[in-house]
Amino acid sequence: MSQQDRSAGWAAYYTQLRDRPPRKTALAALDRFGTPPDGALAIDLGCGDGRDVVEIVRRGWSVVAVDSEPTALQQLAARDMPGAERITPVLSRLEDVPLPLGVLWVNSSFAMPLCEPAKFHALWLRIAEELPAGGRFSGQWYGPRDSWVGREGMTFLSRKEAEHLLEGFEIEMFEEEEADRVTPRGNPKHWHIFHILARKR
């Protein structure tokens, strides 16, 4: 797929899912944190047009919003929302971006699997090392029965591998979902998803 086709695909995705609520993993993280401490900082890796970011800033957080698609960040900037001044947009591949100093929460909804295994694992090592005790990770990873298995540049983990990576964290949500649905782009797909919320010990 050309970069142009990929970008057009993501633009259609943002339009189609425009008014969907934040992901349950992001909401669960917000609820677990409760009132954020002064200056609380999150990073949203693969933020899209801001489905989670809107709620993160509404609840008082500052957030670094990372996406590799310019359209995502343009659509995020076009949203009319209170707290927008607490968003720092970063156009970057999520596996390349340094975690900001003082980050307390890494959120990555349906995006981390969209990088190749070596980079996925290097990123996860950084997240696991750099989050402070009490910091959280929320997001989705994909399992081995997902019908996208074998696609170049993507990462899939067995349940055991996922649990192994999460050692050192207290698991607050680990929901395994398998379902046959149609993707937002209209293609039938078997989803195998791990919905994760974990708190660093």
Ligand X SMILES: C[S@@+](CC[C@H](N)C(=O)[O-])C[C@H]1O[C@@H](n2cnc3c(N)ncnc32)[C@H](O)[C@@H]1O
64 vs 72 by CB, closer to ligand X: 72
Closest separation between CB of residue 47 and ligand X, Å?
5
Q: Give the nearest residue (CB) to ligand X.
A: 48
37 vs 125 by CB, closer to ligand X: 125
48 vs 89 by CB, closer to ligand X: 48
CA distances from 73 to 32, 51, 124, 140, 161 (A): 27, 12, 23, 21, 32
40 vs 112 by CB, closer to ligand X: 112
Closest separation between CB of residue 84 and ligand X, Å?
17
Is residue 137 part of the contact set for ligand X (CB under 6 A)? no
In angstroms, the CA 29 to CA 55 distance is: 11
Of 82, 196, 182, the C-alpha closest to 142 is 196
Residue 35: DSSP 8-state: S
Of 64, 60, 53, 54, the C-alpha closest to 34 is 60
Q: Among residue numbers 145 through 174, which ones bind ligand X (CB under 6 A)?
A: none
Is residue 195 part of the contact set for ligand X (CB under 6 A)? no
Half-sphere exposure of residue 58: CA atoms within 13 angstroms, side-chain side: 15
In angstroms, the CA 103 to CA 20 distance is: 26
In the beta sheet, which residues pair with residue 60?
A: none
Quick one: which of 61, 67, 138, 157 contacts ligand X (CB under 6 A)?
A: 67
Is residue 68 part of the contact set for ligand X (CB under 6 A)? yes
Q: Among residue numbers 83 through 102, which ones bind ligand X (CB under 6 A)?
A: 93-95
Instruction: Let me know the angle formed at the C-alpha of 52 by 101 and 183, rounded to the nearest 5 degrees.
Output: 125
47 vs 104 by CB, closer to ligand X: 47
Q: From residue 37 to residue 66, what is the string marking binding to ligand X with x (rule CB under 6 A)?
A: ---------xxx--x--------------x
Of 181, 175, 115, the C-alpha closest to 146 is 181
Residues in the interface with ligand X (CB under 6 A) total 19
Residues that bind ligand X (CB under 6 A): 10, 23, 46-48, 51, 66-69, 72, 93-95, 109-111, 114-115
